[in-house]
Amino acid sequence: MPKKEDPKELEKCTRKLERLKKELSKKEDEIEEYISHLQRLQADFENYKKQREKQEAQIIEYANEKLILKLVDVLEDMERAIDNCKSLRDFKDGLNLIYRKFNNILEKEGLQRIPTKGEKFDPFKHEAVQIENHEKYKNGEIIEEISRGYILKDRIIKPSFVKVCKKDMG
């Protein structure tokens, strides 16, 4: 024979079920709010990334602007020298002035020449394009600079091409 349900117990279960439904509904609302918040944060982050990439692209595109402006001054000096050159002496003086100005700009930007003649050969700074057994130089010492090398700040951007003394070449 089936058992008859107790009305008080049934009411108690009904209230508990209603309370659980309300809690579930509240939790579902919270979850939707969290998801919405997460989606906004994700969109904000995507926008930030796009803005940052755009800024980086602009920085790269205009990174040399100050250097270019300095070089424009040298270009204008060259134009003035050409326009005002009356003699070979004027030409030489103007060329020397422009050379010094250009060299100073490069040095201020961090460019340095790699020392060579009389220095010990360093494969990280020098490239040996010729070797020679020479009485006046020690083994591994640079005899002659074929082409200058340069360091920009702390990075070698062009090695020096050199002739190196090599004893006992047989």
Residue 162: helix, strand or coil by DSSP? strand
Residue 127: helix, strand or coil by DSSP? strand
- For 25, phi and psi rounded to 5 degrees? -60, -45
pLDDT at 3: 60
DSSP 161: E
- For 159, phi and psi rounded to 5 degrees? -75, 155
pLDDT at 1: 47
Residue 52: helix, strand or coil by DSSP? helix
User: What is the mean pLDDT, run by run of 10 residues, along the chain of 170 residues?
Assistant: 72 92 95 96 96 91 83 88 86 90 92 93 95 89 94 94 84
pLDDT at 82: 84
pLDDT at 60: 81
pTM: 0.60
Q: Among residues 78, 160, 64, which one has the least CA distance to residue 112?
A: 160
The two tokens of residue 82 are 């050409």
- The amino acid that residue 86 corresponds to is K
**Beta partners for 132?**
165
Please state which CATH class domain 112-170 belongs to.
mainly beta
How many Cβ atoms sit within 10 Å of the Cβ of residue 137? 19
